[in-house]
Amino acid sequence: MATPDTRTQILDAAERLFAEHGYRGTSVRAITKLAGANLAAVGYHFGSKAELMAAVVRRVVEPITAAQCAGLDKLLARTPDPPVSELVEAFAGPLFDEMPAGDEGGARTSRLIVTILSDPAEEARSWTGPAEDSVRERYFAAFARVLPGLSPEELWFRMRGIFAVTAVERLQVHQQPSPGCVSPVAGEAARRWAITFLTAAMSASPPLT
């Protein structure tokens, strides 16, 4: 197996370290050292640390967004009113599935996603683009159609809930468990649990008042 070029090795190292220590907790020196590259290579290949982060995020998020989009297309081609459980699966499933090659069981990707979402760095706001917004709006419309009793505000609330559960769940898989707390389960079981949990939550009747 041929060793990948410097640019790719930096992307791999950065993805791993950003996921483990966050954007601000990762130094360019640590990235280039892990990648076996020179310190100046980041500037040469990416321009700056922030642009490197943007490239890392793009590489991770794009296949997830594409899978979410394809899943919705497939669902809507069959029927305009798919079951809630299948909408949930099409939306949340790719967050469990889509992993770049070399990702150790999804650890890097999941931590990175949470890092993107929760990083208070100003740069983080621009790390996702219009494609992600578009997919989210299409799912919103589909959910609104099959859950007509919900106000738009409450539906957005619930969609954020889907994201919260999948993201935090996958994050905690790779943190040491708290004492007395059973270690989280990765893989197929967690995916099934999440779909069950979220389908019930999405299907709940809105509160009366």
Contacts with its own copies, residue ranges (CB under 8 A): 20-22, 24-25, 111, 114-115, 117-121, 125, 130, 133, 136-137, 140, 152-154, 156-158, 160-161, 163-165, 167-169, 171-172, 176, 178-182, 184-185, 189-190, 192-201, 203-207, 209
- What whole-number distance in Å separates Cα of residue 117 and Cα of residue 10? 22
Q: How many residues bind DNA (CB under 7 A)?
A: 20
- What whole-number distance in Å separates Cα of residue 39 and Cα of residue 18? 17
Structural tokens at position 128: 């996702």
- What whole-number distance in Å separates Cα of residue 29 and Cα of residue 112? 19
13 in contact with DNA (CB under 7 A)? no
Report how many helices (DSSP H) and strands (DSSP E) the chain contains, helices first. 9, 0
Nearer to DNA, 28 or 124 (CB): 28
174 binds, among DNA, its own copies, none (CB under 5 to 8 A by kind): none
The DSSP secondary-structure symbol of 189 reads H
- Positive or negative torsion for Cα 2, 174, 114, 38: negative
Single residue of 12, 14, 22, 26 touching DNA by CB under 7 A: 26
* Pair 198, 92: CB distance under 8 Å: yes
151 in contact with DNA (CB under 7 A)? no
* Pair 83, 76: CB distance under 8 Å: no
193 in contact with DNA (CB under 7 A)? no
54 binds, among its own copies, DNA, none (CB under 5 to 8 A by kind): none
Structural tokens at position 134: 């578009």
Residues of span 31-90 touching DNA by CB under 7 A = 37-45, 48-50
Q: Which stretch binds DNA (CB under 7 A): 21-29, 67-75, 175-183, 185-193?
A: 21-29
Contacts with DNA by CB under 7 A lie at 5-7, 26-30, 37-45, 48-50
